[in-house]
């Protein structure tokens, strides 16, 4: 996969690209993340890429020509061009899985008061990482690059990815490591039993309990199996009874 990131601060990504799983994925040639300085596409002598908006208003707006030129240079039939904006569709694990199947992503990082609205005619998606405003699109670009890269084949262990929170809709089950007990805090005995099926059943129930208790809003978007529905009904009844 190729990920092209268009930004006025390419140096912002230095540590990101040379650390942990991203570095390994690049070294193994699973992903090629390329940075593009938008100022290099400026039509101004001093490489300005912002101007005052027509109609007035506070702040500066990133101009259209540099984005037009860089998109036309990078975009191919296999590209998905994404403008990172608080007005976009909310990024989630489902979107990450879909984007991970692509060959080429172009991530456009805005700044100031945003980008000239004519950019909307050139993009495939407008994506937000949350209902808040950041100073620029660099952090969202990192988040999307990280979430997508770790889903690429052989970047991390496949079983590990499948057990991640939100991968199948549910949050992850609780996990524990040594020692078995510390200052009165104990690991659940079942996890020490070596009974794999019982542990798997426990983890499934804990996924549902954790999601119900922490992120109940996620449940409506999950296509549940009959088994999961039975467990959820049990959890709901226990919760209701505890309040009575």
**Residues carrying an active site annotation:** 86, 113, 150, 164
Nearest to 49 by CA among 80, 6, 107, 86: 6
Classify burial at 104, counting beta carbons within 10 Å of its beta carbon; exposed 0-12, middle 13-18, buried 19 or more. Answer: middle
Q: How many CB atoms lie within 10 A of CB 176?
A: 12
Output helix, strand, coil percentages for the chain, rounded to the nearest 5.
45, 20, 40
Q: Is the dihedral of CA 138, 144, 147, 152 positive or negative?
A: negative
Residue identified by tokens 């999601």 is 211
Classify burial at 142, counting beta carbons within 10 Å of its beta carbon; exposed 0-12, middle 13-18, buried 19 or more. Answer: buried
Q: Which residues, in sequence order, are bridge partners of residue 99?
A: none
Residue identified by tokens 């596409």 is 41
Number of H helices, E strands in the chain: 8, 9
Q: How many CB atoms lie within 10 A of CB 236?
A: 14
């Amino acid at each position: 996969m190729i990920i092209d990131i268009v930004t006025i601060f390419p140096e912002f990504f230095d540590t990101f690209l040379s650390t942990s799983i991203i570095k390994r994925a690049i070294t193994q040639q699973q992903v090629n993340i390329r940075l593009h300085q938008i100022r290099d596409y400026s039509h101004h002598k001093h490489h300005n890429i912002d101007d005052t908006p027509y109609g007035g208003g506070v702040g500066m707006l990133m101009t259209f020509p540099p984005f037009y030129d860089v998109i036309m240079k990078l975009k191919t039939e296999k590209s998905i061009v994404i403008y990172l904006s608080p007005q976009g569709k909310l990024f989630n694990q489902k979107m990450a899985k879909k984007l991970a199947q692509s060959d080429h992503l172009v991530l456009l990082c805005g700044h100031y008061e945003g980008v000239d609205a004519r950019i909307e005619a050139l993009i495939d998606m407008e994506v937000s990482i949350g209902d808040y405003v950041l100073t620029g699109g660099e952090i969202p670009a990192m988040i999307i690059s990280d979430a997508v890269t770790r889903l690429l084949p052989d970047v991390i262990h496949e079983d590990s990815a499948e057990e991640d929170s939100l991968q199948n809709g549910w949050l992850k089950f609780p996990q524990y490591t040594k020692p078995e007990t510390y200052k009165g805090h104990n690991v659940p005995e079942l996890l020490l039993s070596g009974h794999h099926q019982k542990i798997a059943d426990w983890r499934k129930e804990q996924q549902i309990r954790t999601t119900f208790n922490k992120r109940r809003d996620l449940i409506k978007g999950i296509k549940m199996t009959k088994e999961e529905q039975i467990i959820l009904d049990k959890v709901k009844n226990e919760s209701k009874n505890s309040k009575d």
